[in-house]
Structure 1
Amino acid sequence: MQKLQTQGVHHITFIGADRQTSIDFWEGMLGMPFIFEQPNLDVPTENHLYFDPGDGRLITVFTNENRKPDPTHIPEGIGHLQHIAFSVSRATYTQAKKRLDERGIKNTGEVDRGFMYSIYFRDPLGLLVELACYKFEPPVGVTHAEVLLEAHLIRTERGDYAISDEHLADAIERLTQRTTRSLSPDRGVADPYGGSTDETTDRHVAERPRG
């Protein structure tokens, strides 16, 4: 017996209401290009819309013109989707609350998850949507997932309750040393300023750049 090894998310499909509601939300609000459309090959009365969330994967929606938007919160239960999260840049994240407020959309405001910032709101059909922005950039050739795994190991080694900036910073340092080469025989921590007394520190206070 062997695994059925996956290599990423191919697509996620939702049951939508009418066609235009889906286009207005996924493309008109979240900016996902509407890239493909055809009938639902399993249910001829439905249409099948495809959107690109930005990473080459797909968000797809089954629509029917006889269905009307219902903003009632989707109930939580075993096997149900609790929420879906999409990655945004830090610049976009800082504008998210203002732009949601401008549309009159209730939202959580900024939520600090330790390794990322999040904001939550509901789509026109009651789906809980998260916009998330990582706090860190991984070293070249390393994925966000690998940094999180290393940070988790550091956190549990230290007995800390939840992930923090310190765990992420130390994970990035470990992974950089592990994945890159150096001519130095010793890559340990060094003090190029020759001490840490107040007098020594004062001599090396950074000057404000001119211009």
Structure 2
Amino acid sequence: MRKMQVQGVHHITLTGADRQSSIDFWEGVLGMPFIFDQPNLDNADEGHLYFDPGDGRLITIFTNETRKPVHDRTPTDPGCVHHLAFNVSMATHRQVVARLDARGIAHSGVKDRGFMDSIYFKDPLGLLIELATYKFEPPRGTSHAEVMIEAHRIRVARGDNAIGEEHLADAIEMIVERSQQSLSEDRGAKNPY
């Protein structure tokens, strides 16, 4: 038996309501360019809209003009999607609350998650959306995931409950020491004052 190694999310497809409300939310609220539109090749009664969430991958929406937006929370039963999280810059994240308030969209306010800050709100169909921003930049040539696994190991070794900024800073320092050479024999912390 062998694994089928994945290399990232190709796309996520959601069941939407009508075409225009889907465009209005995904492009008009979240700013995702509407990049193409075709019929749902498995159901001639539906459209299939494609949006770019900012990383070149795809969010796609099946639409049907007979479906209308509902505002109930989507199911959170086992096997159901709890929420979708999208990355935004810190500059954008700092504007999210005011911009949601200006539209009259209820939201959670900023939630400190230790390694990121998050804001939650529902789309017009009741799907929980998270806009998240990392509190750190990974060292050159590494990913957020690489920093996170190191921060996790540090957190566990220290017996801490959740990853915090100190774990992230220490993880980044460890990654830099491993990946970048120095002429110094002793790279430990010093006090030049």
**Structure 2 length as normaliser, TM-score?**
0.99
Aligned mates of 2:45, 2:34 — CA distance in 1:
20
Q: Once superposed, what is the RMSD of the aligned Cα atoms?
A: 0.6
- Counterpart of 1:129 in structure 2: which amino acid? I
Aligned mates of 1:188, 1:96 — CA distance in 2:
40
Aligned mates of 2:98, 2:113 — CA distance in 1:
20
Unaligned runs of 5+ in 1: 194-211
Aligned mates of 2:54, 2:160 — CA distance in 1:
35
Map of 2:36 onto structure 1: 36
Aligned mates of 2:2, 2:183 — CA distance in 1:
42
SS state at 1:148 partner:
helix
SS state at 2:76 partner:
coil
Give per-residue Cα distances to partners, 1:137-156, cap 9 Å, x unaligned.
Answer: 01000100000000000000
Map of 2:159 onto structure 1: 159
The number of residues matched between the two structures is 193
SS state at 2:43 partner:
coil
Does residue 91 of structure 2 align to residue 91 of structure 1?
yes
Map of 1:202 onto structure 2: none
SS state at 2:44 partner:
coil
Percent of pairs with identical residues: 66
Q: 1:187, CA displacement in angstroms?
A: 1.2
| Deviation beyond 2 Å, 4+ runs, structure 1 | none
- Counterpart of 1:115 in structure 2: which amino acid? F
- Counterpart of 1:160 in structure 2: which amino acid? D
Query: Which has the larger share of strand?
Result: 2
Aligned mates of 1:20, 1:61 — CA distance in 2:
11
Give per-residue Cα distances to partners, 1:29-81, cap 9 Å, x unaligned.
Answer: 10000001110000011000000000011000000111111111112100000
Aligned mates of 1:130, 1:48 — CA distance in 2:
23
Aligned mates of 1:106, 1:189 — CA distance in 2:
46
Which one has the largest radius of gyration?
1
Give per-residue Cα distances to partners, 1:75-121, cap 9 Å, x unaligned.
Answer: 21000000000000001000100110111110000000000000000
Aligned mates of 1:38, 1:98 — CA distance in 2:
35
Aligned mates of 1:77, 1:5 — CA distance in 2:
27
Q: 1:183, CA displacement in angstroms?
A: 1.0
SS state at 2:182 partner:
coil
- Counterpart of 1:102 in structure 2: which amino acid? A
Does residue 158 of structure 2 align to residue 171 of structure 1?
no
- Counterpart of 1:85 in structure 2: which amino acid? A
Aligned mates of 1:186, 1:101 — CA distance in 2:
52
SS state at 1:161 partner:
coil
Map of 2:126 onto structure 1: 126
Q: 1:136, CA displacement in angstroms?
A: 0.3
Aligned mates of 2:72, 2:99 — CA distance in 1:
22
SS state at 1:29 partner:
coil
**Structure 1 length as normaliser, TM-score?**
0.90
Aligned mates of 1:27, 1:90 — CA distance in 2:
20
Does residue 46 of structure 2 align to residue 23 of structure 1?
no
Q: How does 1:139-154 map to 2 (within 5 A)?
A: 139-154=139-154
Aligned mates of 1:102, 1:175 — CA distance in 2:
42
Map of 1:3 onto structure 2: 3
Does residue 112 of structure 2 align to residue 112 of structure 1?
yes
